[in-house]
Amino acid sequence: MLTSEIISLYLKAVTEAIKADALAKDQKIPVSSFRIEVDEKGGRLYAADYFKYIVEGRGPGKAPPPDKMEEWLRKNLHVLDSARDIYDKISLKSLAFLIGRKIAKEGTDVFQGKKQKIDIPGSITVPMDEFLQQLAYWKALNVIDKIRKAA
């Protein structure tokens, strides 16, 4: 097995750990935006640009960009449906503005402590032991193979 394959398996395990932690904390995360890039030297896990706010929260101050709020609402239409239960004719654009304004005034629920943060360090370290064991095992086999070929 190549180092890149082992790294890829590890990053997939990290992704699964992040998903499990988010599910346990009733957090919706942009799983479809996750992307893994791997080579023989390492790997990277990418997520949607707003993933950092799900993890750490966003404090009060500047409002999120309106186009990003609208994009988020399009992916979470249940929020718009809930708002329409109260305000019959609210548009997606209006709701995006109102949510952005609330975030600008109060910050997000994660920032306020109303929702738990996703445990990224835990999601990284839990599969680490297995990753290191696999890496050591396959590297040892590689060394043995090179010794045999040299003999």
Residue ranges of domains in the chain: 1-56+109-151, 60-106
**24-46 mean pLDDT:** 88
**130-140 mean pLDDT:** 79
| C-alpha to C-alpha distance for 63 and 59, rounded to whole angstroms | 10
pLDDT at 67: 92
**65-72 mean pLDDT:** 90
Find residue 36's DSSP bridge partners: 45
**Average pLDDT of every residue of the chain:** 88
| C-alpha to C-alpha distance for 36 and 49, rounded to whole angstroms | 15
Number of alpha carbons in the 13 Å side-chain half-sphere of residue 147? 6
pLDDT higher than threshold 90 for residue 130: no
Q: At 61, list the tokens.
A: 């101050």
Q: How confident is the model at residue 75 (pLDDT cuts 50, 70, 90)?
A: confident
| C-alpha to C-alpha distance for 93 and 55, rounded to whole angstroms | 25
pLDDT at 60: 94
pTM value is 0.70
Q: How confident is the model at residue 1 (pLDDT cuts 50, 70, 90)?
A: low
pLDDT higher than threshold 70 for residue 117: yes
pLDDT higher than threshold 80 for residue 89: yes
**One-letter amino acid for residue 12 of the chain:** K
- Give the rounded percent of residues in the chain with a pLDDT score beyond 90: 36
The 10 Å Cβ neighbour count of residue 54 is: 20
